[in-house]
Amino acid sequence: MQMLNKMLVLVATEFDGIFDKGGTPYALHCLKVMHYLKSDDEELMCIALGHDLIEDRGKTVTYTLLREAGFTERIIEGIRALTKVPGESYEEYKAKVKANHDAIKVKKCDLRHNTDIRRLKGVTQKDLDRIAKYHSFYLELKELG
């Protein structure tokens, strides 16, 4: 579990002082996504923990850094599949997720947590629209397995 320990430290460090929309430390979201997997697959757990690193912390965390830190290509490619890049449409992003078996598993857990309305301090129409969009994507992924 050496890689998982490294990923946990990286996520805790990179998201230190960052909070989600409900005011909860953001690193807890990453841990919850990993928990939802209910897996003992170390690489898959690393993908879940690190799923937002590049997208949200790309100024300090890069694929090169992950590779140099000893993370496997499976982990890096899983995170790459889950990272929405500037200029990428939502449909392009969804296709990228669907093309990676690990990303499908992790994204279902991510969407599950992101649609948990209890995480929000108040609910706006924008929140409800986002939740509906995420739920629709979840149903698409659920059909894939």
pLDDT score recorded for residue 117: 82
Pick from 47, 25, 29: nearest CA to 114: 29
| Other beta carbons less than 10 A from residue 6's beta carbon | 17
pLDDT digits (tens, 9 = 90+) for 60-104: 999 999 999 999 999 999 999 999 999 999 999 999 999 999 999
Q: Which domain holds residue 73?
A: 2-144
Tell me 51's DSSP state: T
Task: Give CA–CA dist 48/54, Å, rounded.
Answer: 13
Mean pLDDT to the nearest integer, 24-49: 97
Residue 88 has φ and ψ, to the nearest 5°, of -85, 130
**CATH number of the domain that 21 lies in?**
1.10.3210.10
pLDDT score recorded for residue 21: 80
Task: Give CA–CA dist 41/38, Å, rounded.
Answer: 9
Domain count, the chain: 1
pLDDT score recorded for residue 127: 87
pTM score, whole prediction: 0.94
